[in-house]
Structure 1
Amino acid sequence: MGRNGNHTSVAMFVLLGLSDEKELQLILFPIFLGIYLVTLIWNLGLIFLIRMDFHLHTPMYFFLSFLSFIDICYSSSISPRMLSGFLKNEKMISFFACATQYFVVAWMALAECCLLATMAYDRYVAIGSPLQYSAIMVPGLCGKMVAGAYVSGFFSSLIQTVSCFQLYYCGPNIIQHFFCDLPQIIPLSCSNTFVAQMTLLVAIVVGFGSLFVILLSYGFIAASILKISSGKGSAKAFNTCSSHLAAVTLYYGTALSVYLCPKSNQSMNPDKVLSVFYVIIIPILNPLIYCLRNNEIKEALKRLIKRATALCQS
């Protein structure tokens, strides 16, 4: 605690974590450590594969590589501290570290919303205007769209973080969660929180704005598919966007469940379970969703293995 006039200001927060049962924490530690390591390996491997194989140098895989990078940053901003919390009796986090963690988490989450919207537009152009696809989705435009997603997430997160963490905190300092999240932090403030709560509208605008673009894109995609006369052509067109649709459904489904459902003061457990899925499980699922039924990824992996084997034998 630090002194501010006649008041005491909070210098540290306490993250309650997923559970206060020591035995359960020791069980959860290797599980979440394994999930985190696999998340890093799969996403880094996917980025490496896309960069190494020129057959994958297309807009769709360009966006996918940046989605994997977001998932790595997203998971890394939460998992290491959560894992260390399983092994500690006191789960303390400094005021600055808490602000930094929230800033990175919100930045990556909002950037992912924007990037998913960008990928939906890419799928619309691929299905709605296949002959003009190469002329429309040029590398320069793709780069600007990715930059726009990251910049939008950055400034949206910065506004929320500054407005929340410039508030005065005099206690209590217990955060009912396993990471620093504004809905759990703002009620702890001793200041007037109206402005900080209003800045949460920035995240809502970015999130729902991206969702609107996604729904609009898929509306046009559905209209384009209905115009395709052959059943085989329709199925092929749908398959090109099925992975992205699954990723969007998972991401927005859990996010809306976490942030829009009424909170229960008696039990935070359902909230924490949904949050685990939202911030820990989705980053490990995204590579699977995009790769399991993707023949281009499988062929690229075979070429990489064959190239590596040839190098070892020479």
Structure 2
Amino acid sequence: MDHVNHNWTQSFILAGFTTTGTLQPLAFLGTLCIYLLSLAGNILIIVLVQLDSGLFTPMYFFISVLSFVEVWYVSTTVPTLLHTLLHGCSPISSAVCFIQLYVFHSLGMTECYLLGVMALDRYLAICFPLHYHALMSRQVQLRLAGATWVAGFSAALVPATLTATLPFCLKEVAHYFCDLAPLMRLACVDTSWHTRAHGAVIGVATGCNFVLILGLYGGILNAVLKLPSAASRAKAFSTCSSHMTVVALFYASAFTVYVGSPGSRSEGTDKLIALVYALVTPFLNPIIYSLRNKEVKEALRRVIDRIRIILREPQ
């Protein structure tokens, strides 16, 4: 009888946001502008780190990797959001839906691990300055960056596979992209075990990494407070401030969404919180790392000056 009641649907319908009248085009244009600015800001950081020798440091290498992750992260969900804002409820095949779910969570976990690596980089730079460049050689940087991608895409296999194998009785996803909680609400069976499994995997990935970051910053704080002058302490803290801001943004939204059961919040709240971590955070990251950073501003000026000189040279 269970097989009669269960419907393995071939497609879903993304409900999106219920916007009407003049609010709909405004929401579309606003989202499109933020998306394009997010792409431009993150791509600009990647280009600057590649072109300017002043940014050839481990810290900026990891920042450029973070920007690369953000470009793909924001592009995984925002085009779907734009489509639902323009056309309302949108069909999506189950295969595309589950691929979106997997890629979105893979990139999110990759970013989680990468923030831990960036905290380790700051810890080594401040606590072991004489050995820093030997400890964080180019080969070590590449291995650490590669490990974050492998770990992120491996960890996301568990929640994505468990969700994809559920039988679904309903088709309308109360969201603008395929995420765990809205999909699990459509299942024909009790998903309490799946919820615990998702919480365990995501909790270990984010929680352990967060504890690691706190421990590393505890070591950084201890080392900075021992510095002789206020100026040297301020300089040391300034190199960490941008990273700490990004960590706070990432973990505040991640814990809000993934701590607790999927049914503990309203569907509208889920969608609004998702806008923060899927759209706003990738938009803010390049601003946090560039507009507040003198080295990035100087690198941008040098690259622009080089381009002007090239353009002025006779052909």
Structure 1 length normalisation: TM-score? 0.93
What do the CA deviations read for 1:2-60 (whole angstroms, capped 9, x no partner)?
Answer: xx777542111122212253543222000000111111111111101111112211110
> How far apart are the structure 2 equivalents of 1:254 and 1:126?
28
Is the Cα–Cα contact under 8 Å of residues 16 and 88 in structure 2 kept in the other structure? no
Cα-to-partner distance string for 1:257-279 (whole Å, 9 max, x where unaligned): 22236777784333322210111
- Out of 171-180 and 20-29, give the one that drifted further: 20-29
What stretches of structure 2 of length at least 5 have no aligned partner?
none
- Deviation string, structure 1 residues 178-221 (Cα, Å, up to 9, x no partner): 11111221232124535533431211111111111110110100
Counterpart residue number, 1:250: 249
Q: 1:269 to 1:90 in 2, by over 3 A?
A: closer
Indicate which of 191, 194, 211 corresponds to 1:193. Answer: 191
CA shift in 2, pair 1:194/1:267, >3 Å: closer
Q: CA deviation at 1:293?
A: 2.1
Q: How has the CA–CA distance of structure 1 residues 175 and 245 changed in structure 2, closer, same or farther, with 3 Å as cutoff?
A: same
Q: Supply the distance in 2 between the matched residues of 1:253 and 1:27 (Cα, whole angstroms).
A: 28
For the residue of structure 1 that corresponds to 2:130, the secondary structure is helix
Give the secondary-structure state (helix, strand or coil) at the position aligned to 2:175. coil
- The answer for the alignment partner of 1:148 in structure 2 is 147
Q: Which amino acid aligns with 2:60?
A: Y
Shift of 1:136: 0.7
Q: What is the aligned residue count?
A: 310
Alignment of 1:68-147 (within 5 A): 68-147=67-146
Task: Show structure 1 runs of 5+ residues with no match.
Answer: none
Does the C-alpha gap of structure 1 residues 5 and 83 become closer, same or farther in structure 2, counting only changes over 3 Å? same
Pairs within 5 Å for 1:269-284 = 269-284=268-283
Aligned match of 2:174: 176
Q: What is residue 17 of structure 2 aligned with on the other side?
A: 18
The one-letter code matched in structure 2 to 1:154 is: F
CA distance in 2, matches of 1:76, 1:202: 24
What code does the residue aligned with 1:163 have?
L
Between the aligned partners of 1:40 and 1:101, the Cα distance in structure 2 is 19
* Match runs of 1:208-287 below 5 Å: 208-260=207-259, 267-287=266-286
1:308 match: 307
C-alpha distance in 1, partners of 2:103/2:174? 19
SS in 2 for 1:13: strand
> TM-score by structure 2 length?
0.93
Among all aligned residue pairs of Structure 1 and Structure 2, give the percentage whose two residues are the same amino acid.
Answer: 36
